[in-house]
Structure 1
Amino acid sequence: MRLWSILITLFVIFLPTGSLAQPTVAYQQRASQLLDMLSAPGGEDAYFSTLFLDAVPVAQWRALAADLRNQHGRPVARGAVQVESPTTGVVEIRYERATVGFTLVVAPQAPHRVIGLQLVGTRQSGDSMDRLLADIAGLPGRAALSIARLDEAGPVWLHDHRADALMAIGSSFKLYIVAELARAVAAGERRWSDVIPLSHKSFSGRLLTTPDGAPMTLHSLALAMIAESDNSAADTLLLALGRTKVDAMVGISGHARPDATLPLLTTAEAFALKMPANADLARRYVGATPDARRALIAADAKRLTAGAVDIGTVAEVPTAIDSIEWFATPRDMVHLLDWLRRNGGDALPIMAVNPGIAPADAKRWRYLGYKGGSEPGVIAMNFLAQARDGRWFAIAASWNDNTARVDEARFVALLTRALNLIAG
């Protein structure tokens, strides 16, 4: 019953938000009654709407509430209520070991039953950075993390665990592409509104089903690549901007060992190289210099397209995550985030579309930009955050395991704790 551990949408209907920001009396009552609903079984039919209970039967609700009690102890008090409209807001419930936030949506018509509930964030009581770092260190496989404050002179390192370890970062490499696009726009070489064809389809993402050659702006491609991690957008942008220029951004942004990851592969090339059928090519690629790798990619281009990939051979278990990948240390990623803070321009709003964590936790920051990456055996998360007092921070972390899939929800929970601890 780990459904509640990070984010579980039970059944949410978003009502139109008015200009008022005061809860109704009925909303306040339902917010207070949520404590009782989470404390013990009983009264569900009077509290939840039929619509809600059709989606989440009473037995399922009770199991989910019991799972929260098992994780965090007994619910002891209702905390703050942050209202978004007269019928929608975030309600905090204090448990013995954590404070849990819920989006609560109440029907505007009597008897004002609850029509939507969503767990949107958890803060552990008595948490500390030492406890967090110990939990990161205790992950199976290899994990690494770096947290820095970003001053005008550059990163000030605050908390680290194996911060200089070279890690597989999955789709986090797409931050290098958007950084090069931002540089090119600032230099007058490109415009965000420039239109190019969708030319290189790859696996996963909305654009995979978009017609080949569909005209798209650079901004639309960047938005899909960062907010949705769309691989077709990433491959199209990488090749349109020029692999040489995107590769140069790896060094420009502060990567300490760019030869370890260059050239930056398209997602189709990476999938293809991981295939057992291309094991001979992969061996030559891994042992080659960056220039020789570029020559291999060019010479075997037909073997390295999405159409040539049997995705089932690489999608189930960790595959070549220590050799055919995109690699960076957490400190490399912090330097990249700092470069984007100073030079990203319109890339910064794009990075903020998908904050990577639950909304209630994300709202603790004035700005929260995010890009992560995952595949079997790999998860990476990278945050550029501005605190309410104006200070900037970067958090970068990766977890690799060659032997098994990683628990992504567990890692998201750890990084959410890190952000909450820094936000204070």
Structure 2
Amino acid sequence: MKMLVAALALLGLALWPTVGAARDATYQARADQLLSILSAPGGEDTYFSTLFLDAVPVAQWRALAADLRKQYGKPLARGAVQVESPTTGVVEIRYERATIGFTLVVAPQAPNRVVGLQLVGTRQTDDDMDRVMAGIAALPGQAALSIAQLGDAGPVWLHEQHADTLMATGSSFKLYILAELARAVAAGERRWSDVIPLSHKSFSGRLLTTPDGAPMTLHSLALAMIAESDNSAADTLLLALGRTRVDAMVATSGHARPDATLPLLTTAEAFALKMPAHADLARNYAAAKPDQRRAIITANAAQLTAGAVDIGTVADIPTAIDSIEWFATPRDMVRLLDWLRRNGGDALPIMAVNPGIAPADGKRWRYLGYKGGSEPGVIAMNFLVQARDGRWFAVAASWNDSAARVDEPRFVALMTRALNLLAQ
């Protein structure tokens, strides 16, 4: 299944049409034919364009379609077609055990063959939250989740599993930086348009190749930090706002055990500590109390930089995810999301740029804000959503496995199912 999603996502991004328009009847015909193409081998040469088949040869396509049938049963019928333009839309196919949405892109010129296809959402037949919770429980390692409805009296806990367990959350910590920035703007201490230099580059992200000291607005840094999870943006903002102030936001937003994660490390510091050369330093840091950790960071600032990070040494296996990390429980993250709902202001549109799930599933909500985090052995997903009827919810979940990489598509599928059920 991972192979299918990756291949179709690539096509959906790379083969989007830019000119022309096909007749509605032609698009509907291609939508109808998708059922037979998914049901059994045959007809691919006349259905798909050569551009598509150059990227996904017939044999590979047949294997991908067979994988869907194995997982969800036989395709039974074409469901709804949501046309977005004369050449683009979302087509639902009902399988025995699920309804799957595909973005279908048709060439504008005759014979109007399919140039793009992307799986954008799955709804399992007769799914319910108990099945989702069982799926979370079946994950190897440790998984934890909290789903709450948000109101004036605070979160109302709806569905939970190990919700008070401290978990490694990866880049989810960047929400604390965003929250402190929102607080500072609301207090008149900062403006989103304030310009600061890009001063603390980290080891990955788009801004890594931006010239040193490039002038950046606080808004543009926040957008890169949340929508792209850019590490250079996060480290620059954390230190520009002041680590002490961002650390204070951890408690302000409702973290039950802030000493477990403070001080918030920059991404460069965290991964420098994970390097084999700093193993002794990392052990001392993990065993220390927050004030002692701050002193360790200050005393070793010259060593704990992005230049010390060899990302290849931590790219394949979980490394110190139980000791050198950003820790929070799912309930902590729900309370942080609720703080942002009430106080975030212009931070909320920033959170909505990258929905974290397929667009067709994200469109079930009036508002969907997201920030996640991942590294080997860690994945976390945090959603702030508003239903069409105005109700607000938060969904926060993490999966940690110190022994192996986690199956990220499996976790994303579980979170998507939870959100879809919540949206009903």
For the aligned pair, the TM-score class normalised by the smaller chain equals over 0.9
- Taking the aligned partners of 1:259 and 1:92, their CA distance within structure 2 comes to 48
The answer to whether the 8 A contact 2:198-2:214 is kept is yes
The answer to whether the 8 A contact 1:227-1:350 is kept is yes
Matched, 1:210 2:210: yes
Report 1:152-171 matches (<5 A).
152-171=152-171
The answer to whether the 8 A contact 2:7-2:56 is kept is no
The answer to whether the 8 A contact 2:5-2:119 is kept is no
Matched, 1:252 2:252: yes
Q: Which digits, 9 at most, give the CA deviation of each residue in 1:223-274, with x for residues without a partner?
A: 1100110101000000000000000000000000001000000001101111
- Taking the aligned partners of 2:350 and 2:42, their CA distance within structure 1 comes to 45
Relative to structure 2, which stretch is displaced further, 1-10 or 372-381? 1-10
Distance 1:223 1:81, change over 3 A: same
The answer to whether the 8 A contact 2:196-2:215 is kept is yes
Q: Which digits, 9 at most, give the CA deviation of each residue in 1:10-50, with x for residues without a partner?
A: 523333599x9x97001111101100000011111111112
Shift of 1:109: 2.0
Shift of 1:211: 1.0
Q: Which sections of structure 2, spanning at least 5 residues, go unmatched? A: none
Partner of 1:395: 395
- Taking the aligned partners of 1:46 and 1:280, their CA distance within structure 2 comes to 63
Partner of 1:229: 229
Partner of 2:262: 262
The answer to whether the 8 A contact 2:19-2:108 is kept is no
- Taking the aligned partners of 1:73 and 1:23, their CA distance within structure 2 comes to 32
- Taking the aligned partners of 2:200 and 2:10, their CA distance within structure 1 comes to 37
Shift of 1:314: 2.5
Shift of 1:111: 1.7
Q: Which digits, 9 at most, give the CA deviation of each residue in 1:300-346, with x for residues without a partner?
A: 10110111223232222111111110000000000000000111111
Matched, 1:198 2:191: no
Shift of 1:7: 7.8
Partner of 2:125: 125
Report 1:13-92 matches (<5 A).
13-16=15-18, 24-92=24-92
The answer to whether the 8 A contact 2:8-2:117 is kept is no
Partner of 1:376: 376
SS of 1:341's partner is helix
Partner of 1:298: 298
The answer to whether the 8 A contact 2:364-2:423 is kept is yes
- Taking the aligned partners of 2:110 and 2:5, their CA distance within structure 1 comes to 33
- Taking the aligned partners of 2:79 and 2:311, their CA distance within structure 1 comes to 48
Matched, 1:313 2:306: no
Partner of 2:348: 348
The answer to whether the 8 A contact 1:93-1:100 is kept is yes
Partner of 2:408: 408
Corresponding letter in the other structure for 2:390: G
Distance 1:8 1:171, change over 3 A: same
SS of 1:4's partner is helix
Corresponding letter in the other structure for 2:58: V
SS of 1:304's partner is coil
Corresponding letter in the other structure for 2:280: D
The answer to whether the 8 A contact 1:192-1:218 is kept is yes
Partner of 1:324: 324
Percent of aligned pairs sharing the same letter: 82
Relative to structure 2, which stretch is displaced further, 280-289 or 115-124? 280-289
Shift of 1:412: 0.5
RMSD (Å), alpha carbons: 1.5
The answer to whether the 8 A contact 1:10-1:55 is kept is no
The answer to whether the 8 A contact 2:337-2:394 is kept is yes
Corresponding letter in the other structure for 2:73: G
Relative to structure 2, which stretch is displaced further, 128-137 or 279-288? 279-288
- Taking the aligned partners of 2:328 and 2:271, their CA distance within structure 1 comes to 19
Q: If the length of structure 2 is used for normalisation, what is the TM-score? A: 0.97
Partner of 1:238: 238
- Taking the aligned partners of 1:104 and 1:53, their CA distance within structure 2 comes to 15
Corresponding letter in the other structure for 1:196: I
Report 1:88-127 matches (<5 A).
88-127=88-127
